[in-house]
Structure 1
């Protein structure tokens, strides 16, 4: 929807529902005002809907669809964690760590999208904090393991232009990550908190 606003009227009041908004007087310029309206409890994960969305990284497509389309999604999510952990007590520990990582991703990596949806958020949630972060003018490298160790894992995030004026860091995807990704997801699914 396009809204014309006279600039000499003083102020404008907008009642916006949850979502992402980009206001500009010249769409071709790529410049404007970005407004992100989030849940009142953001960056916390407190609803079954958010718990279900963010668990996508470690579920199969079938599991994800069953949980999110369920009449009782929270019960399905809780059962997923119990099945992974083997007990309610262990499941509580997994839930606490996993959703704390989601909260941290929201705090540190949110921009146009919530942090958990960003590439850095994805890696942070599944792998945990890197041992070292190297920042360069056009990229950021996350190291898991020891420096100068060929068995260490590193993820490279390159700066890319965003249509909303700010640069974002996007993961340089590589088939070489597949084994490490599967190991991390399997760890979570077997009731073990993954961290390098």
Structure 2
């Protein structure tokens, strides 16, 4: 009798302890968006790139378009496990058994460049926050790919009730469009769409330790280019960015950034001069800007850094490869290298840790379990053009690591 009472009390104590540990996030902590390391999202060696593109059917009903770009040659569907779910917060726990497994017969399309899924979902009226999540597991080596998109929440001003597609009916899943290329727009609730063009150019951002705010244009030029019918291909011929809406009285729309044929790579010597601002002194950059022969000035600049022609070639290749990745990953209404995240990515390289909160994205460099690691926190800002707009929390504490990375670049020793 005594033994049973002790056993019963021990069981009660153990259950309470386990519940506490799970709730407090220590010991047996469960996986959430806030604790999941999404570093493969920005890796230079990823094999897949998933996206979630919500199309609003009604206020609480969405068609989730989930194109998964194939970055490796001829990927086999069975080498991966595909899952999705809808979370009610960034700290809601999820495990594979809670997720919906997507099978090969769930594919809407399987093209040379994409696995493409669609799911129609309904958000309960009382739910104040909803985040769509796709998870992909590479069964060969255990790599896990994630992508999430807020459907309902404080940073969402609305999702469009139409979709944009490539010629093969796969959703437009890039953040930029080459000038004069066409997209097809489809909608079940709109006959025509309105197009607004912004020919704005943006300056490069201030470095992480510069705490005063960067200058912002007082006015932004906008050109109303009228409406066009859905279900017909539409080209975008001018360089800048466009905002497409079905209802000009709403905040809902689709951002399309138009770029030159060479993008995401560098196109001109003038562009190259602009882009070396992150690793140049002010005097060096001013001299490059003023040079009449930009190519000759740049050749002298790179050789001057390395004192070796072959080392200079390697440095140029690596630096502009970083620019290219920044453009692919972070372009919004600005070119990717001109965003705060693109700037940090270019100079510091891919982060070793990437986590998300509702209001921030945090990058970690160094050993995640070490006291010597450094964090860059990007605050999420509500923006009508994109639900994923982030600005770096600048601090003078970031200066030592920033200068250390610049020194490595300038000596030709930066290696990712």
Name the structure 2 match of 1:17: 238
Paired residues of 1:141 and 1:156 also in contact (CA < 8 A) = yes
Offset at residue 185 of structure 1 (A): 1.4
The structure in which a higher percent of residues are helix is: 1
Pair 1:140-2:365 in alignment: no
Secondary structure of the corresponding residue to residue 276 of structure 2: helix
Q: In structure 1, what is the Cα distance between the partners aligned to 2:225 and 2:349?
A: 45
Q: Deviations over 1:14-34 (max 9, x none)?
A: 663211233557666433342
Q: Deviations over 1:89-110 (max 9, x none)?
A: 0001111111000001111111
Secondary structure of the corresponding residue to residue 181 of structure 1: helix
Name the structure 2 match of 1:188: 409
Secondary structure of the corresponding residue to residue 381 of structure 2: strand
Pair 1:50-2:271 in alignment: yes
Specify which of 162, 169, 176 is matched with residue 397 of structure 2. 176
| Larger RCO (CA under 8 A, 6+ residues apart) | 1
Pair 1:102-2:323 in alignment: yes
Change (3 A) 1:16 1:29: same
Q: Deviations over 1:65-89 (max 9, x none)?
A: 2212321112212221111111110
| Cα RMSD for the two superposed structures | 2.5
- Unaligned 5+ segments in structure 2 are 1-221
Secondary structure of the corresponding residue to residue 226 of structure 2: coil
Number of residue pairs matched by the alignment? 195
Q: In structure 2, what is the Cα distance between the partners aligned to 1:44 and 1:22?
A: 24
Q: In structure 2, what is the Cα distance between the partners aligned to 1:108 and 1:18?
A: 19
TM-score (norm 1): 0.86
Name the structure 2 match of 1:156: 377
TM-score (norm 2): 0.43
Change (3 A) 1:156 1:194: farther
Q: In structure 1, what is the Cα distance between the partners aligned to 2:337 and 2:254?
A: 22
The structure in which a higher percent of residues are strand is: 2
Q: In structure 2, what is the Cα distance between the partners aligned to 1:96 and 1:76?
A: 17
Name the structure 2 match of 1:84: 305
Change (3 A) 1:8 1:92: closer
Pair 1:41-2:41 in alignment: no
Paired residues of 2:332 and 2:386 also in contact (CA < 8 A) = no
Name the structure 2 match of 1:120: 341
Paired residues of 1:126 and 1:194 also in contact (CA < 8 A) = no
Change (3 A) 1:8 1:175: closer
Q: In structure 1, what is the Cα distance between the partners aligned to 2:263 and 2:365?
A: 28
Change (3 A) 1:129 1:74: same
Paired residues of 1:184 and 1:194 also in contact (CA < 8 A) = no
Offset at residue 11 of structure 1 (A): 6.8
Secondary structure of the corresponding residue to residue 34 of structure 1: strand
